[in-house]
């Protein structure tokens, strides 16, 4: 159902659920229109939720950081402080790892029946659904994404992912293996131990589920570090997980900064496995820190510069809408965003004009306001980075078709920006912008676009829009990417594996493939005393 919800966003603006309408009724709905784009309201709507949890979660208890330090988490709509959150450092990582180690080595979680683990995860999913709107409001407040996106798509997907992994818990088992001799051979699939997990700020709840779901289903204990920009939702839902019956110490959540808390977790000798989602540059650091400690296995889901290829047989109106969604969804803050829009020369001019018109219609404003498609960028650093890329595009000779400026006087809002006449060597065509900037490039045949699409250090995802089965078969096999969406984009079903080629990462998340990240395989060999019965 969550997959259908996300697909429906491609062809319409978000429609409000009755719950969302009730929450927003009577709030400030003022906006200004300029160049066809809704400008952020000067007076942000008051979020319909209270921040309850700002401490670290260690051994099942909310506690202050060892140093007593806190840091502010900011409202991207205004840049103002939402709350001060406990700032974890290496000592807090040590405390969390010790709790996880004890929970794994001595506690009931890895020893209880897989069915009971499944029941706890299912109760957790029920609690997520019960608190859907509170969770969504925290996510929007801390991250800036539209409330209707969080409430109607992402929180339901969180519950769906947890249920998916609950279903796997009692289906993980080994094999019996025939041997060349009088031996009984079996394999055991055992939990790997203490898993360190580091999640990003663009999809805090979904990345939380991608990480903890398979790890818990397999019977592991966890230390999870949240992104410093978005710590609130993970703390809230982790409390619900303990309410569902999770034993103390199985999940520990440390908020803090990457160079301190993240580095301590990556290099910790008592962490048995590490999973990281974030930028390619930081992924390299994480991998290096891990390799210098105990050679723990590492899975990485990193950056991307995904091609979205519009073939000459495309219905241009449909292609424009899908390409718009592929890039601008989640404020463009998506690692697999279709950020290189390749359009066949026969439909290029028509596509550019319609892509410009669609961007000018995009509604940007307070994400708690009904009908808003795009909220603010996550923070000032990301805002300034995107604006520098826009300036680079103009200076390098690309044609600015729409946008390119800040919206409003508060917060980190950027106009939906479209560039045409983009060349392969431009920074906007090679670097991961992670913002609402669409780059449109022209091509004239499949061999050319395959070569150009693959001429990148990334390989996370790709999109293809065509009516031709031959085009589909050629492109899906030729593109070097972990996911290829054909006539759709951003379909994140719980069972579909996700991960990248090249410098977009290593390993896969979601689906059956994610379980491999959190299991050890043990071979058990026993001699048979009476080989005559073989």
Cβ neighbours for 117, distance < 8 A, ≥ 6 positions apart: 109, 166, 169, 170, 216, 217, 219
| CA–CA dist 465, 473 (Å, integer) | 12
Any idea where the domains of the chain sit in the sequence?
39-176+188-302, 307-486
Pairing of β 56-58 and β 80-86: unpaired
Q: What is the CATH code of the structural domain delimited by 307-486?
A: 3.40.309.10
pLDDT the model gives residue 459: 98
pLDDT the model gives residue 29: 33
How does pLDDT run across 100-114, given as a tens digit for each residue?
999 999 999 999 999
| CA–CA dist 501, 288 (Å, integer) | 19
pLDDT the model gives residue 1: 46
211, 142, 247, 2 alpha-carbon torsion, rounded to 10°? -50
pTM: 0.92
Q: Among 167, 213, 199, which residue's Cα sits nearest to residue 335?
A: 199
Q: At what angle do helices 446-454 and 469-478 cross, to 10 degrees?
A: 30
**Mean pLDDT on 508-522:** 97
- Sign, CA dihedral 462-467-471-473, equals positive
How does pLDDT run across 453-477, given as a tens digit for each residue?
999 999 999 999 999 999 999 999 9
Element (H, E) at 307: strand 307-310
How does pLDDT run across 195-239, given as a tens digit for each residue?
999 999 999 999 999 999 999 999 999 999 999 999 999 999 999
Burial (0-12, 13-18, 19+ Cβ within 10 Å), 68? exposed
Burial (0-12, 13-18, 19+ Cβ within 10 Å), 280? buried
| CA–CA dist 28, 248 (Å, integer) | 43
Higher pLDDT, 494 or 16: 494
Of all residues in the chain, the percent with pLDDT exceeding 70 is: 91
Q: At what angle do helices 114-130 and 155-168 cross, to 10 degrees?
A: 170
Tokens 């709507």 locate to 45
- What positions carry a catalytic annotation? 301, 335
- How far out from the chain centre does Cα 169 lie? 23
Burial (0-12, 13-18, 19+ Cβ within 10 Å), 364? buried
Cα distances from 527 to residues 189, 530, 533, in angstroms, run 21, 9, 13
Cβ atoms within 10 Å of 171's Cβ, excluding its own: 11
Pairing of β 461-465 and β 307-310: parallel
How does pLDDT run across 29-47, given as a tens digit for each residue?
333 333 345 555 567 899 9
pLDDT the model gives residue 533: 59
Q: Kindly report which listed range (289-293, 340-344, 516-520) carries the lowest average pLDDT score.
A: 289-293
Looking at domain 39-176+188-302, what is its CATH homologous superfamily? Answer: Aldehyde Dehydrogenase; Chain A, domain 1 (3.40.605.10)
- Please say if the pLDDT value at position 50 is more than 80: yes
| CA–CA dist 346, 130 (Å, integer) | 51
Token pair for 340:
């290189």
- Please say if the pLDDT value at position 139 is more than 60: yes
């Amino acid at each position: 159902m969550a997959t259908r919800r996300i697909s429906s966003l491609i062809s319409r603006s978000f429609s409000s659920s009755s719950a969302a309408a009730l929450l927003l009724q009577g709030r400030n709905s003022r906006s200004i229109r300029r160049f066809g784009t809704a400008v952020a309201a000067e007076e942000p709507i008051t979020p319909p939720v209270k921040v309850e949890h700002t401490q670290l979660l260690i051994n099942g208890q909310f506690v202050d950081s060892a140093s007593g330090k806190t840091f502010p988490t900011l409202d991207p709509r205004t840049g103002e402080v939402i709350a001060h959150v406990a700032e974890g450092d290496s000592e807090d990582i040590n405390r969390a790892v010790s709790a996880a180690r004890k929970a794994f080595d001595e506690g009931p979680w890895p020893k209880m029946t897989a069915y009971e683990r499944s029941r706890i995860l299912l109760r957790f999913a029920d609690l997520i659904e019960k608190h859907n709107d509170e969770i969504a409001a925290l996510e929007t407040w801390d991250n800036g994404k539209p409330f209707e996106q969080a409430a109607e798509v992402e929180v339901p997907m969180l519950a769906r992912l947890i249920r998916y992994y609950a279903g796997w818990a009692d289906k993980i088992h080994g094999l019996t293996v025939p041997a060349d001799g009088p031996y009984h051979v079996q394999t055991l699939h055992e939990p790997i131990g203490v898993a360190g997990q580091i999640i990003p700020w663009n999809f805090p709840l979904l990345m939380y589920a991608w990480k903890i779901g398979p790890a818990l289903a397999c019977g592991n204990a966890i230390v999870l570090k949240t992104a410093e920009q978005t710590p609130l939702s993970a703390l809230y839902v982790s409390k619900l997980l303990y309410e569902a019956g999770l034993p103390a110490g199985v999940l520990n959540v440390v908020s803090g900064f990457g160079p301190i808390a993240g580095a301590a977790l990556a290099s910790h000798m008592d962490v048995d496995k590490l999973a990281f989602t974030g930028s390619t540059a930081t992924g390299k650091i994480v991998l290096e820190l891990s390799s210098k400690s105990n050679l723990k296995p590492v899975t990485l889901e990193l950056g991307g510069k995904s091609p979205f290829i519009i073939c000459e047989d495309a219905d241009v109106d449909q292609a424009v809408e899908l390409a718009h969604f592929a890039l601008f969804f989640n404020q463009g803050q998506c690692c697999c965003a279709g950020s290189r829009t390749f359009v066949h020369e026969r439909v290029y001019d028509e596509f550019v004009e319609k892509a410009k018109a669609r961007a000018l219609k995009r509604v940007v404003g307070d994400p708690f306001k009904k009908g808003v498609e795009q909220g603010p960028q996550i923070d000032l650093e990301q805002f300034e980075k995107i604006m520098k890329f826009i300036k680079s595009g103009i200076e390098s000779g690309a044609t600015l078709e729409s946008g390119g400026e800040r919206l409003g006087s508060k917060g980190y809002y950027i106009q939906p920006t479209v560039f045409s006449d983009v060349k392969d060597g431009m920074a906007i065509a090679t670097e991961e912008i992670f913002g609402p900037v669409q780059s449109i490039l022209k091509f004239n045949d499949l061999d050319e676009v395959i070569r150009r699409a693959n001429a990148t250090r990334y390989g996370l995802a790709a999109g293809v829009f065509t009516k031709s089965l031959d085009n589909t078969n050629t492109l899906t096999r030729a593109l070097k990417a972990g996911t290829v969406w054909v006539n759709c984009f951003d379909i994140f079903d719980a069972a579909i594996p996700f991960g990248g080629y090249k410098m977009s990462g290593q390993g896969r998340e979601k689906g059956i493939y994610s379980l491999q990240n959190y299991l050890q395989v043990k071979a058990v060999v026993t001699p048979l005393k009476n080989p005559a019965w073989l």
